[in-house]
Amino acid sequence: MNSLAKQILEHGLQLPEGTPLAAKELLHLGKRAAIDQVLCRLVARGTLLRAGRGVYVLPVESRFGSRAPSTLKMVEGLANQRGETIVPHGAAAANALGLTTQVPMRAVYLTSGRSRLLKLGAQMVELRHAPIWQLILPGRVAGDVVRALAWLGPEKAGEAILKLGAKLPASELQEVASARARLPTWIATEVSALVAHG
């Protein structure tokens, strides 16, 4: 293995699990053309996984062999690296909040960046560009409520918000209510009615 490949792997091993390696992040190690070539060779060897165009990740070594990193960790790493907001899709949020028993077949996330597919081992991860209001309050239950309601749609939102009103602490509902100005009218109306009765 040449020294540039070793340096790239050493750099990757210092990063948290799932943090993507991008050629631009490695320019301190050498010229872009050489880095691109080495990344391709490492993928061909199975030392690196190519998750998507320009996105590489180190597989995780365990006593059972190597596996792809966790989807969540890779998505978080990608969000930090690219400066994007990436959040779970409304179907996953609705499932986590107990509003549906439907489990999404594929990992789907909403992003402020462009829509694209990533491959982590055998799993496909879809990143879908979404309007900014669906990306509010990332990493917060209140944000999951907004995304779940957006996925359920206006017909089911009223019933869902009543369930959430009985389930969630008033502080979470208040946080959703505080974002009403950024939400579509139909969600803002439902949230306002709940807060008024609460």
**Do 101 and 61 share a structural domain?**
no
Confidence at residue 116, expressed as pLDDT on a 0 to 100 scale: 94
Residue 75 inside a domain? The answer is: no
The CA-CA-CA angle for residues 133, 75, 2, to 5°, reads: 145
**Do 190 and 93 share a structural domain?**
yes
Residue 73 inside a domain? The answer is: no
Residue 28 inside a domain? The answer is: yes
**Do 93 and 39 share a structural domain?**
no
**Do 190 and 146 share a structural domain?**
yes
Residue 58 inside a domain? The answer is: yes
**Do 103 and 53 share a structural domain?**
no
Mean pLDDT by 10 residues, the chain (198 residues): 86 89 89 92 91 89 84 91 94 93 87 94 92 95 96 93 89 91 93 74
Residue 78 inside a domain? The answer is: no
Domain count, the chain: 2
**Do 7 and 48 share a structural domain?**
yes
Confidence at residue 1, expressed as pLDDT on a 0 to 100 scale: 58
Q: Domain residues for 181?
A: 84-197
**Do 94 and 47 share a structural domain?**
no
**Do 155 and 108 share a structural domain?**
yes
Confidence at residue 193, expressed as pLDDT on a 0 to 100 scale: 81
Amino acid at 149: L
Amino acid at 68: A
Confidence at residue 18, expressed as pLDDT on a 0 to 100 scale: 87
CB contact at 8 A, 130 and 110: yes
Half-sphere exposure of 11 (CA within 13 A, CB side): 21
